Structure 1
Amino acid sequence: MTDPGSVRTPSATRIRRGRTAGALASVGVLLAVSGCSVAGGDPIGEGPGTLRVVLPEEPPTLEPCDASLTATGRVTRANITEALTERDPSTGRLEQALATKWTRNSPTSWTFTLREGVKFHDDSPFTAEAAAFSIKRATDSDIDCNVDGYIFTDSKITAKAVDDTTLEVTTAEPDPILPLRLSFVEIVPTSTDPDSRVREPVGTGPYRIDEWSQGRFLRLKRFSGYWGETPDYAAAKYVWRAEGSVRAAMVTNNEADVAIGLAPEDGAGDRAVEFTTNEVSYLRMDATKAPLDDVRIRRAINYAVDREGLVTAVFSGRPSGQLVSKGVTGYNPRVNPWPYDPKRAKRLVAEARADGVPTGTTITIIGRTGIYPKAAEAMEVVQDGLLKAGLKVKIKMLDVNAWLEYLLRPFPKGIGPTLLQAQHGNQAGDAAFTMGQIYGSKGAQSSYGTPELDALTKQAQLASGDKRQKAFADAFAHQNDEVVRDAVMANMTGILALSSHVRYRPDSATNDEMRLSDMRRADRGRS
């Protein structure tokens, strides 16, 4: 994979919006059409010019600086809002978006040349001033943007407009992958509220928000002033249904065109399309509270999780031992999945109990409904393994909004030891976006860190090329061998259902950003 920290002049690269030309798949014939709704709610009921998408859950927010959250990003990123740069998931290369060129002037300074003739949905011009405003809003405000902790790990960054099409960005410390980080900063006009989240963002993307009926649907409309290629569909309408079988049936009954987050048994039949994702499922342990503060208990939990059983009987994927997938800078092929060894798990718990560790304290699994197919069933399998190991465990399943309170700092108080059902998709392709926010002592999603792991992470973040790969791989090995903060379960396989009316080939980023402009009408005869 191309080192994402390398300095490139992208003017010769192809713009990703054009890559769909060779990446479309026609998917079989339409199954039986029913005139009645299987959705359990309002039917989508739109005309042929509208792409009908059914999601597992309603986006918790459309705030652009929270677009790194999966449920938000799959709707907003590259649809409503855009960034200066974007990573092509098929090649790993960083390409043009709202910036056409970037140059590293010094270890802490970059210059970006911006695309001319771009307008926001409110008809105001896209300028370097808007880019600088968006960067400051996302990284240096009281909004507590997820992108700040996730992408920038609260590091200091300053952006200044030199003229309308030239932007200077400086960092407090050397950052060889700054252009990659900026691919997660969605650009908004200066009229956007700088001090609070917005419900309906204004962007430069190919679609603008038409109507969001809370709890019912979200409709986007094609933006006539878009600077790039005009997408096939005049509009897109999103609805959400929690049951995977319902989502699949909506496609097979021609009530929807695209349904995501499906399981093999959801009944999509010939409409099902499997694809490799960058999502890794895991359990985050709160290692600050007993009995999880004893590394023997954390190791016991890892031995008690039947990963092979989970991917065989519960969800699609392959067992994994680290939070990034192959192809991400820092992936360590020597970090293997923990073996399923219930006897060893039970022995470790008994040893800890004999030394006075309060193994009878109830551990709460904080689960999230719809985080992946059969989410609750997966946690029941985990609970069974931990109970057999001698631990006391209960499950608390939450919707995405309640679950987010446990994902991000500051965490709820007085809840006792917890295991958080979580999933991480490093779509940026560099372990910097995993180690700092998830394993750092002060990471936005971190429940526990160590000075040793912090030092290894910082060393890796300053490196480039092969040295960067090795440094992050060493950090993952240290986490797995010495810290054991997580029980990583599986690198997930995605399944979506696709109508024969639509041609679309999902990629590893589809779960995080589902680009409507990559979806083509089959009746247009485009290839």
Structure 2
Amino acid sequence: MAPLVKTPSRRQAASALLALGATLSATACSVANSGPEPSSGAAASAVRIVLPEEPPTLEPCDASLTATGRVTRANITEALTERDPGTGRLQPALATEWKQDSPTEWTFTLRKGVKFHDGTAFDAKAAAFSIDRTVNSKIDCNVKGYVFGGIELTATAADDATLKVKTAKPDPILPLRLSFVEIVPATTSATAKVREPVGTGPYKIAKWDAGRSLRLERYSGYWGKAPEFAAAQYVWRAEGSIRAAMVKSDEADVAIGLAPEDGAGDSAVQFPNNETSFLRIDAGKAPLNDLRVRQAINYAIDRNGLVASVFAGLGKPAGQLVPEGVTGHSTAVQPWPYDLAQAKKLIAEAKADGVPTDTEITIIGRNGIYPKAAEAMEVVQNALTEAGLKVKIQMLDVNAWLEYLLSPFVKDSGPVLLQAQHGNQAGDAAFTMGQIYGTKGAQSPYGTKELDELIAAGEQASGEERQTAFAKALEYQNKDVVRDAVLAHMTGILALSKKVAYKPNAATNDEMRLAEMHPAG
């Protein structure tokens, strides 16, 4: 039996402003009438944030989607546990402690005195309902595929403050998985998603003016320390230069998703995010169903050049979606070398064997997924064309792009390379492998029996055996499956007003915690 887990009190991140080592200079333009309401005079009571895109939804069980999670997680809704992005340590949130009773049984002791935004009490019934809604319902929660990937479990309330969770198979990281289940009242629909959730977080939804702005207001009944800003006002602008200019002209306090050339100047803050950019290869459709073609795609891309030019040196070439510091990372998997001659040779060999290499391949890109997203895909398009493939680009906004990202996938689309980005903020390869590479993964249009078995071995292991098993799965994927072309581990830039103190961290892109923002001075 595992010992009782008692961890420190809820994380309170330091409020000191992150120093910027080098000033990024550029000229900002005026952005008249483009800022969020209220005006700068109310900035002490409301922090004003400009995003690259409007959240597609605030549905809690889709909070593993970046555009949703950065607003929802730890602001509107909370989970039983939470992971400190700095130390990787799992900490209490709505659960105060937990213990493993047997290989398949866990007990969670819940925090008392917590109320939802609608005034109802948080208890074990609500926790059990939220887990069941996320994992066992038919509403296609992204968290279900991303975090649980076919894991069978049941959650029951032993009493108001005690939750029992039983899994069909041993799951050594269940408390970590539950950090992605946002808790909602038992009155929430279990048959349909909700756009505006009720949670227990420090902020509640005040007004969502679709297409224009979203306002959150401080929840007076919050169980923890009250955040310093009374409200948060979100707007969205697709152009990074406009987002940066809004901070410089005092029309916003925080702007995320910036590139060096966006002109944030001395308001720019660099931070290490946990995102890895990649191209998902539709390996079930010709000509992408030929291993040589998938290898050629990887050889044709000059990752060093891409990082140096398009990403302006922010980030580093990558060979796998599981970065250093995450359990399962393999030191044996390195970025593919740039070898255009080898790419051309492989394409020619495939063509000689009857592979229809002249079939047009579509790069499905996403506007705003990271700075200069379209430019990055143009670089890839040129490289693949030079290697001997026929490639076109189609850039989509987030809602249309999600139809390609998530199962069930768009049918009759022809062969596709999907521009994507993956952040493993949970710190374990289980949150990458099953959903992205498994045969039945929520984001996987292709898998193999052999890789499924290697992934399953990693999921059941613990300690060093878990590290070794997942590394083996990654190495097999890179050598024998080649289901993607990993591009780069990314570095983030945000612009920060001098009126706000905030220290971004590796989780900022996925969950921007308003409680960690403070009036400066």
Q: TM-score, normalised by structure 1?
A: 0.95
Q: Decide which of 45, 51, 67 is 2:39's aligned counterpart.
A: 45
Contact 1:38 1:250 in 2 (8 A): no
- Report the counterpart of residue 145 of structure 2 in structure 1: 149
Q: Decide which of 176, 180, 183 is 2:176's aligned counterpart.
A: 180
Local SS of the residue matching 1:20: coil
Q: Which amino acid aligns with 1:411?
A: F
Q: Which amino acid aligns with 2:259?
A: A
Q: Which blocks of at least 5 consecutive residues in structure 2 are unaligned?
A: none
- Report the counterpart of residue 13 of structure 1 in structure 2: 8
Q: Decide which of 390, 393, 399 is 2:391's aligned counterpart.
A: 393
- Report the counterpart of residue 493 of structure 2 in structure 1: 495
Q: Which amino acid aligns with 1:520?
A: H
- Report the counterpart of residue 440 of structure 2 in structure 1: 442
Answer yes or no: is 1:326 the counterpart of 2:350.
Answer: no
Q: Decide which of 460, 479, 493 is 1:462's aligned counterpart.
A: 460
Q: Decide which of 254, 265, 268 is 1:269's aligned counterpart.
A: 265
| Range 137-146 or range 293-302, more displaced | 137-146
Question: Number of matched residues?
Answer: 515
Contact 2:7 2:92 in 1 (8 A): no
The alignment yields a C-alpha RMSD, in angstroms, of: 1.9
Distance 2:160 2:270 in 1: 44
Contact 1:26 1:500 in 2 (8 A): no
Tell me the alpha carbon deviations over residues 380-421 of structure 1, each in whole angstroms, 9 at most, x when there is no partner.
000000000000000010000000000011111111100000
Calculate percent identity across the aligned residue pairs.
67
Answer yes or no: is 1:253 the counterpart of 2:249.
Answer: yes
Contact 1:26 1:503 in 2 (8 A): no
- Report the counterpart of residue 424 of structure 1 in structure 2: 422
Distance 2:14 2:360 in 1: 50
Local SS of the residue matching 2:14: helix
Distance 1:7 1:388 in 2: 56
Contact 1:364 1:396 in 2 (8 A): yes
Local SS of the residue matching 1:151: helix
Q: Which amino acid aligns with 2:443?
A: Q
> Against the structure 1 CA distance between its residues 499 and 357, is the aligned structure 2 distance closer, same or farther, given a 3 Å change threshold?
same
- Report the counterpart of residue 305 of structure 1 in structure 2: 301
Distance 1:43 1:116 in 2: 37
Q: Which amino acid aligns with 2:399?
A: N
> Against the structure 1 CA distance between its residues 9 and 239, is the aligned structure 2 distance closer, same or farther, given a 3 Å change threshold?
farther
Distance 2:514 2:330 in 1: 34
Answer yes or no: is 1:240 the counterpart of 2:262.
Answer: no
The alpha carbon displacement at 1:13 in A equals: 1.6
Distance 1:62 1:407 in 2: 18
1:18-37 alignment, distance < 5 Å: 18-20=12-14, 24-25=17-18, 37=31
Contact 2:6 2:98 in 1 (8 A): no
1:198-209 alignment, distance < 5 Å: 198-209=194-205
Distance 2:18 2:427 in 1: 25
> Against the structure 1 CA distance between its residues 396 and 32, is the aligned structure 2 distance closer, same or farther, given a 3 Å change threshold?
closer
Contact 2:20 2:270 in 1 (8 A): no
Tell me the alpha carbon deviations over residues 116-145 of structure 1, each in whole angstroms, 9 at most, x when there is no partner.
111100111100000000001111112110
| Range 198-207 or range 45-54, more displaced | 45-54
Q: Which amino acid aligns with 1:236?
A: A
Q: Which amino acid aligns with 1:270?
A: D
- Report the counterpart of residue 334 of structure 2 in structure 1: 336
Q: Which amino acid aligns with 2:243?
A: R
- Report the counterpart of residue 3 of structure 1 in structure 2: none
The alpha carbon displacement at 1:25 in A equals: 3.7
- Report the counterpart of residue 71 of structure 1 in structure 2: 67
- Report the counterpart of residue 517 of structure 1 in structure 2: 515
Tell me the alpha carbon deviations over residues 281-308 of structure 1, each in whole angstroms, 9 at most, x when there is no partner.
0000011000000000000000111111
Q: TM-score, normalised by structure 2?
A: 0.96
Contact 1:26 1:504 in 2 (8 A): no
Distance 1:294 1:33 in 2: 48
Q: Which amino acid aligns with 2:354?
A: G
- Report the counterpart of residue 365 of structure 2 in structure 1: 367
Distance 2:346 2:243 in 1: 43
- Report the counterpart of residue 216 of structure 2 in structure 1: 220
Q: Which amino acid aligns with 2:97?
A: K
Local SS of the residue matching 1:118: coil
